[in-house]
Amino acid sequence: MIIINVKEEESIDRALKRYKRKHRNVGIVKQLRKRKHFIKPSVRRREEIMDAAYRLEKFGPK
């Protein structure tokens, strides 16, 4: 649970912005989306290898 202490003379908009930033940095939504579907470890590893090969081809040494 994320707790935001509103400081004195701080606007609600500013406190809400701090809450949203903290929520994004914790990664709750990202984790929920990741857990929504099970991905086999072999498939996950294959995707990592394909992504690394793409990045090496696209941005690697020329």
Whole-number Å distance between alpha carbons of 37 and 4: 31
**Which helix or strand (DSSP H or E) is residue 45 part of?**
helix 41-59
Write the pLDDT tens digit of every residue in 26-55. 888 888 888 999 999 999 999 999 999 999
Query: pLDDT digits over 9-31, tens only?
Result: 999 999 999 999 988 888 888 88
* pLDDT for 24: 87
